[in-house]
Structures are given as C-alpha cells and as structure tokens.
C-alpha cells in the first residue's frame, strides 16, 4: 500500500470489523502514510459494505480471507461464507461499478492439503 501511495494512488483498505477497532497489519504502516489511506471496516459477507468500498475503485487487490486451517476444520461454514461468498461480493461489486481489474492473492495451502500418495501431481512449494 505504501508503494501505491508514493505513486500518487488513492488507496482504500477494507478491514474486518472488530470491537477493538484493530486494523491488523495496517499498524505497521507509517503514521504519515496511514493518514492517506481510507480505512473501511466491515465484513466481506456484507454485500452492501463491500459494494460501497469498491465504488469508485479502478483496481481491487483482494487479500481478504479467513486463513487459519485449524479453525476451518471446526467452522467450515464460517470459512466458506467469508472466503467464497465474500469473494463473490467483491466480484459482483466490481462488475456493477465496472472496476478495471481485480488482483486476487491466495496461498498454496489448498493444493498441499490434498497431497497424498494418490495425488498424481508434484507440488513445487517455491513458486
């Protein structure tokens, strides 16, 4: 985000709302640069809030997800609703507002979870 600010881009950041008003790793950004970021707290599952965050945005960098693997085993519905439905909300909002590009960031974990002796493919963890 800091690189985008330096290049003169207007930056919005959608963070998951919590009662502590904790914005996670945004605290690692310099206080001068954080003032230049529009921070929106909400939930990816809330299509209205996601839509408002995407409104007027040319490029969406989608990094939002519940990523804790042990949590996903105990609460698969929460993980699916956040990760899948949240992504759908972003895609729908981007389509509605004619967003130019969506860049989705994920992890290699999904492919590694299925690896076994029966798995016919070799996974390169260094990609």
Q: Is residue 76 part of a domain?
A: yes
In the predicted structure, residue 126 carries a pLDDT above the cut 80: no
Q: Is residue 18 part of a domain?
A: yes
Q: Is residue 123 part of a domain?
A: no
pTM of the model: 0.78
pLDDT in tens, 55-76: 999 999 999 888 888 898 999 9
Q: Is residue 77 part of a domain?
A: yes
Q: Is residue 74 part of a domain?
A: yes
* DSSP for 39-77, written as a single string: EEEE-TT-HHHHHHHHTT-SEEEE------HHHHHH-HH
Please name the residues in contact with 18: beta carbons below 8 A apart, sequence gap of 6 or more.
Answer: 41
Structural domain of 47: 2-106
pLDDT in tens, 36-57: 999 999 999 999 999 999 999 9
Instruction: Grade residue 106 by pLDDT with cuts at 50, 70 and 90.
Output: confident
Provide the CATH number for the domain around residue 23. Answer: 3.40.50.720
pLDDT in tens, 17-40: 877 877 888 888 888 888 999 999
In this prediction, what percent of the chain has a pLDDT beyond 90?
Answer: 54
Q: Strand 37-42 relative to strand 11-16: parallel, antiparallel, unpaired?
A: parallel
The total number of structural domains in the chain stands at 1
């Amino acid at each position: 985000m800091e690189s985008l600010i330096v290049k003169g881009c207007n930056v919005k950041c959608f963070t998951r709302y919590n009662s502590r008003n904790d914005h996670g790793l945004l605290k690692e950004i310099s206080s001068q640069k954080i003032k230049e970021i529009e921070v929106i707290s909400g939930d990816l599952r809330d299509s209205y809030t996601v839509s408002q965050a995407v409104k007027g945005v040319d490029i969406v960098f989608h990094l939002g997800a519940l990523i804790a693997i042990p949590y996903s085993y105990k609460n698969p519905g929460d993980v699916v609703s956040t990760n899948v439905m949240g992504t759908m909300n972003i895609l729908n909002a981007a389509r509605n507002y004619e967003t130019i590009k969506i860049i989705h960031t994920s992890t290699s974990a999904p492919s590694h979870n299925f690896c076994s002796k029966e798995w016919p493919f070799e996974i390169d963890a260094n990609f």
